[in-house]
Structure 1
Amino acid sequence: MGFSLKFQFCLVSVMVLLPALCISQEYFVKSRATYYGSPDCLATPSGACGFGEYGRTVNDANVAGVSKLFKNGTGCGNCYQVRCTNPQICTDNGVKIVVTDYGEGDYTDFILSTRAYVMMAQSDFAAHLFAYGVVDVEYQRISCQYFGYKLQVKIKEHSKYPNYLAIVMLYQAGKNEILSVDIWQEDCKEWIGMRRAYGAVFDTANPPYGAITLRFQVRGSAGLTWVQAPNVIPSDWKSGVAYETDIQLY
């Protein structure tokens, strides 16, 4: 993947903004990384996590597709610090990214958005970094933090009210992984597990009428816990709308 004029435009348009992330792991793992060759310098809107446009623009568009770190979708929304290891052209801190897709190639763990790839380079050395195409990197898991946001439940666009409901969680803060989602069935007074359809998307046929209560099984710094979101989805839910919970993950 060589450097071209379309990436020169990307370099000019990139603003160096501090991502809402902080470091929370003590060691780095060696790997390799490359970048998406998209004309708009962003990731693909049809990422395997199911985040849609959120997966292209969250974290100032510093996002990545991953291979083994995808974890069958459980790794979606996780955050990492990635830095290339060539001290002549790379910064010490690298870039802090959010996992929004699955991708692999040439023994790489990360396929970065073009904007994220640029952030690994020292000033005036981005062209040199793009010329490599694939670079040696090291990475560590870090905590995600989204100032001003709580966990949101987005109704996927292909949901069909009222007979089919598909959801994806946005702004998953901390070092947490959402392993499963249950939906409360008031008529039979029990929790029913939703299916992990793909990536971070969970779905169910014939969801209950009325406001919908969910609970999430979360694995994080507090171990394995269940977190409940009462009536988070209104009775007249609409496809494409994101509903904010009262849950603040750390």
Structure 2
Amino acid sequence: MGFAAKSYCSLLCVLVLLSTICYFQDGYVSSRATYDGSPDCFQTPNGTCGYGEFGRTINNAKVAGVSRLYKNGSGCGACYRVKCKIPKLCSDNGVKVVVTDYGEGDKTDFILSTHAYARLAIPNAVLELFSYGVVDVEYQRIPCRYPGYNLMVKLHEHSKFPVYLAVVVLYQAGVYDITAVNVWQVDSQQWRCMRRAFGTVWDLFDPPLGPLTFRAQVSVKGGTKWVQMINVVPSKWKAGAVYDTTIQLS
């Protein structure tokens, strides 16, 4: 009797575990999506994430603006698999998109670039899908992958050497959200907090003398961790420059 009870409990635990695994594997959320009808089929370079041209062309221009997934800017750079749900029109694979902007539609979570929206459809059904304007979708957070690219730090064009520094983190791999950025102050031997100016742009007045070392706080399952980027920016930095950190988040 005891053995039977133990066997039953073991079987129940296995079934619960399997159902949990299946939930996380499937893990799709129902929503709606539309597209940005810009004339050149790209998103605007003035996206609220602050990526500039990077936000227009990353992931072969398959990008999206989001509303509640924006998360005050920490949702910038996240990757999602999005699938539409119209029978005989929608691809089973859907499209992988990178969040580069904020946008609100008709009860939508995604405003896709036209490049991304077109990939929702099966071949020969693209024009018909565009005629819907807004479609029901399901989406799932997925890891970002940038083969051959390390994490990069771009000095935003608004930076002014040496009095004002603004940085943007590019090629953010994995499923991490950046929630804070600090810069190391050598003379006082302490970390200085940078302000989230907007989106994923972090800034600081009267920055330390270079070379500059940063650390980023990233969300991980169950909490956060700090990732250091040592001596990334040289002493005589200039606005618009992009620097390789030699590391990656995943």
Same fold (TM over 0.5): yes
Inter-partner Cα distance in structure 2 for 1:25 and 1:203: 38
Contact 1:33–1:111 under 8 Å retained in 2: yes
Deviations 1:26-85 (A, max 9, x none): 310000000011111011110010000000000010000000000000000000000100
SS at match of 2:143: strand
Q: TM-score, normalised by structure 1?
A: 0.89
Alignment partners' CA distance in 2, 1:28 and 1:239: 40
| Deviation per residue, 1:186-224 (Å, 9 max, x gap) | 111100100000000000001111211101101135841
> Does residue 179 in structure 1 map to residue 192 in structure 2?
no
SS of equivalent residue, structure 2 residue 165: strand
Residues 25 and 213 from structure 1, CA distance in 2 versus in 1: closer, same or farther, beyond 3 angstroms?
farther
Equivalent position of 1:72 in the other structure: 72
Task: Give the whole-Å Cα distance in 1 for the aligned partners of 2:221 and 2:25.
Answer: 12
Partner secondary structure for residue 132 of structure 1 = coil
Q: 1:103 to 1:142 in 2, by over 3 A?
A: same
Q: Does 1:239 align with 2:235?
A: no
> Identity of aligned pairs, percent?
60
Q: Residue in 1 aligned with 2:19? A: none
Cα shift at 1:185 = 0.6
Task: Map 1:44-55 onto structure 2 (within 5 A).
Answer: 44-55=44-55
Q: Deviations over 1:150-209 (max 9, x none)?
A: 100000001101100000000000001111000111111100100000000000001111
Establish whether residue 93 from structure 1 lines up as the match of residue 93 from structure 2.
Answer: yes
Whether contact under 8 Å (1:175, 1:221) holds in the other structure is: no
Q: How does 1:7-156 map to 2 (within 5 A)?
A: 25-156=25-156
2:5 corresponds to: none
Secondary structure of the structure 2 residue equivalent to 1:144: coil
> What is the rounded CA distance, in whole Å, between the counterparts of 1:25 and 1:73 in structure 2?
26
Q: Counterpart of 2:107 in 1: which secondary structure?
A: coil
| Aligned-partner residue type, residue 187 of structure 1 | D
Write the distance in 1 (CA, Å) between the matches of 2:214 and 2:227: 9
Kindly provide the amino acid, as one letter, of the partner of residue 211 in structure 2: A
**1:66-111 deviation per Cα after TM superposition (whole angstroms, max 9, x unaligned):** 0000000000000000010012100011100000000011101000
Does the alignment pair 1:198 with 2:198?
yes
Runs of 5+ consecutive residues of structure 2 not aligned to the other structure: 1-23
Q: Distance in 1 between matches of 2:25 and 2:207?
A: 39
Q: How many residues matched?
A: 227
Deviation of 1:246 (Å):
2.1
Amino acid at match of 2:26: E
Structure with bigger helix share is 2
> Match for residue 11 of structure 2?
none
Aligned-partner residue type, residue 91 of structure 1: S
Partner of 1:217: 217
Q: Could you list the runs of 5+ residues in structure 1 that have no partner in the other structure?
A: 1-23
Higher relative contact order (CA 8 A, sep 6+): 1
TM-score relative to the length of structure 2: 0.89
The 1:179/1:25 distance shift into structure 2, 3 A limit, reads farther
What do you get for the CA RMSD once the two structures are aligned?
1.1
Q: Is the 8 A contact 1:25 1:140 kept in 2?
A: no
